Amino acid sequence: MAIDGAYNVLWSLARDTSPGTITLKVEDNALSGSSSSDLGQYKFEGGKVTGDQFEWSMLVNAPQIGEIKVDVNGTVSGDDISGQAKLEDYGSATFRGTRATSFMRAAVVTGKRQFEIRKIPTPVVRPGTLLLKVKCCAICGTDLEFVDHHGWAKPSGEELFLGSKLDEAILGHEWVGEVVEVGEGVEGWSVGDRVVDLRGCCGQCYWCRRGFHHLCMGGLVRIEDIRGGTGWASMYGAMAEYVLRPAQNRIKVPDSVSDEEAALTEPLNVGLSAIYESGMKAGDSVAILGGGHIGQLTLLSAKAAGAAPIILTDRIQSRLDKALELGADYALNVDEGDVYEQIVDITEAGADVIIICVRDADVIQQSTLAVRREGTIALLGFPKPAQIDPIYWLAKRLRIVACDPSLRYNVQAMRLMQYKQIDCKPLVSAIMPLENVGKAFDSLYAGENLMVMLKP
């Protein structure tokens, strides 16, 4: 039927507009397909078709809302599509678009540790946006957690499997792209510019107006929903050939910074946030618990800031070897002796700053034994819920800091790479084509690689 096909649409939501896609497939007058927008990516089936009109219902895990029923109905006229979606108890949204004529490859999550390379509509540039060709995209530890269907626990203690909410998603948030088309009204960007994408924020809410973009209440990642699992459902990332992004909150990549380095701006920003937020000073002793790529980038950040000595702990020997290569003074294997006692012995009275880059909840309590009196413990990973005895915090007058990247450190991250104060290239252990996304993830799960870049 003529209604079959993929469509680029513009959703008009309660607050603003959002580009997305709708794919429709009709078989025996039954409708199935998928829908994507800032609310996430969702498959549906069991829809109805009457002539050029269609309708379907689906359950959506919407940011800040949770699971709600959405009823969609619309009309296809030639190559044009229009309609509306009624969100149960939350009003409605409209959409309008045209049949897609250009398609791209994307790595779509289809299940636990499962991907498919699919052809999906290439995004259409809109006013105020940039169409970007992805140059390379790093696989983050967060991506590994999601694809493994492993998540945080709800406050009730029930385990939440985030991956089940990300099926049909396109991951990738550590990447660099090249401008191929500039939307109407955009200034300061030209075709050929390389761009680093920053985390989404609305720029309008209480926190954004005060400069705390990382606490945004209106962006795509909402703090209130991390434990509930809906805050990440809207991730539509760069494990694809092209992405469409608003022109604001972007950084232009200098010629002296390679694509691989530029893709690590966001995670280097994370490492820098731990240094800045912990109040670390030159000459302070720092212990970094966890040697994944965030831990290693934190090591590079501490080195650039003048920390001494720098201690890194992990149980994978290749990570410990890499830490020494990057400039750590000590690399301690957690399976070989009490690393907390060793940290105290090395620093004489305990580390000035301990930075936690692992999800092991017990580490939070144990780290209080290895930090000095009036020292600082910085939380950089996403730990599981933990039982903590705060008496140590009181007795040792400890400072506990939660670190999360804000936009302010991305500029510093780029500048440190531009002027060769930090070299991230040794962290990249493999570069693979997008078609090998499954192999790339498997190599990281197996500990064969520290960091893998995907190139569409």
The 3 state secondary structure assigned to 417-446 is HHCCCCCCHHHCCEEEEHHHHHHHHHHHHC
- What pLDDT band is residue 66 in, cutting at 50, 70 and 90? low
Closest CA to 233 of 87, 40, 68, 43: 40
- What pLDDT band is residue 420 in, cutting at 50, 70 and 90? very high
d(CA 266, CA 173): 8
Contact (CB, 8 A) for 38 and 234: yes
Minimum mean pLDDT range among 135-144, 152-161, 276-285, 430-439:
152-161
What is the token pair recorded at 406? 């804000």
Predicted local confidence at residue 208, as pLDDT: 77
Contact (CB, 8 A) for 47 and 58: no
d(CA 165, CA 41): 9
Q: What is the dihedral of CA 300, 354, 229, 263, to 10 degrees?
A: 0
In a domain, 89, yes or no: yes
* Statement to judge: residues 18 and 134 lie in one domain: no
* Statement to judge: residues 277 and 389 lie in one domain: yes
- Of 71, 99, 127, which marks where a domain is finished? 99
Predicted local confidence at residue 198, as pLDDT: 73
Minimum mean pLDDT range among 153-167, 299-313, 335-349, 396-410:
153-167
* Statement to judge: residues 294 and 332 lie in one domain: yes
What is the token pair recorded at 134? 């992805």
In a domain, 175, yes or no: yes
* Statement to judge: residues 70 and 110 lie in one domain: no
Name, of 196-200, 215-219, 318-322, the range with top average pLDDT.
Answer: 318-322
Structure-token match 């539509």, residue found: 236
Interval 272-276 mean pLDDT: 94
Model confidence pLDDT, tens digit, residues 72-128: 999 999 999 999 999 887 788 899 999 999 999 999 888 888 899 999 999 889 888
Residue type for 440, please?
A
* Statement to judge: residues 71 and 15 lie in one domain: yes
* Statement to judge: residues 95 and 112 lie in one domain: no
Task: Report, in angstroms and rounded to the nearest whole number, the Rg of the chain calculated over CA atoms.
Answer: 23
Tell me: pLDDT of 62 over 90: no
Predicted local confidence at residue 424, as pLDDT: 97
d(CA 143, CA 59): 23
Tell me: pLDDT of 229 over 50: no
CATH of the domain at 259: 3.90.180.10
Q: Which region holds residue 78: left if phi is over 0, alpha if psi is between -120 and 50, else beta?
A: left
Contact (CB, 8 A) for 300 and 322: no
Tell me: pLDDT of 137 over 80: yes
CATH of the domain at 391: 3.40.50.720
- Count the neighbouring beta carbons within 10 Å of the beta carbon of residue 189: 16
Predicted local confidence at residue 38, as pLDDT: 64
* Statement to judge: residues 169 and 258 lie in one domain: yes
- Of 66, 81, 99, which marks where a domain is finished? 99
Predicted local confidence at residue 288, as pLDDT: 98
Predicted local confidence at residue 230, as pLDDT: 33
Tell me: pLDDT of 342 over 90: yes
Pairing of strands 371-379, 399-402: parallel
Average pLDDT, the chain: 86
Interval 123-145 mean pLDDT: 91
Following DSSP, what letter does each residue of 388-422 receive, concatenated?
--THHHHHTT-EEEE----THHHHHHHHHHHTTSS
Predicted local confidence at residue 217, as pLDDT: 64
Interval 351-367 mean pLDDT: 91
* Statement to judge: residues 283 and 303 lie in one domain: yes
Q: What is the dihedral of CA 222, 223, 227, 232, to 10 degrees?
A: 30
d(CA 435, CA 454): 9
Tell me: pLDDT of 414 over 90: yes
What is the token pair recorded at 73? 């109905």
* Statement to judge: residues 12 and 63 lie in one domain: yes
* Statement to judge: residues 319 and 339 lie in one domain: yes
- What pLDDT band is residue 153 in, cutting at 50, 70 and 90? very low
In a domain, 198, yes or no: yes
In a domain, 182, yes or no: yes
Long-range contacts of 208-214 (CB under 8 A, 24+ apart): 211/406, 211/408, 212/406, 213/249, 213/406, 213/407, 214/404, 214/405, 214/406, 214/407
- Of 76, 99, 122, which marks where a domain is finished? 99
Minimum mean pLDDT range among 140-149, 181-190, 210-219, 304-313:
210-219
In a domain, 417, yes or no: no
Minimum mean pLDDT range among 43-52, 180-189, 256-265, 444-453:
43-52
What is the token pair recorded at 199? 């985390």
Alpha helices of 127-190 — where are they, by DSSP H?
Answer: 141-147
Cis upstream peptide for 309 (omega within 30°): yes
Interval 395-408 mean pLDDT: 84
Q: How many domains does the chain have?
A: 3
Predicted local confidence at residue 202, as pLDDT: 67
Eight-class DSSP state of 198:
-
Structure-token match 């999550």, residue found: 109
In a domain, 180, yes or no: yes
Predicted local confidence at residue 61, as pLDDT: 66
In angstroms, the Cα distances linking 79 to 9, 32, 84, 312 are 12, 18, 17, 58
* Statement to judge: residues 58 and 198 lie in one domain: no
Predicted local confidence at residue 167, as pLDDT: 56
Range of the domain at 206: 106-264+424-455
* Statement to judge: residues 260 and 273 lie in one domain: no
CATH of the domain at 68: 2.40.128.120
In a domain, 54, yes or no: yes
In a domain, 409, yes or no: no
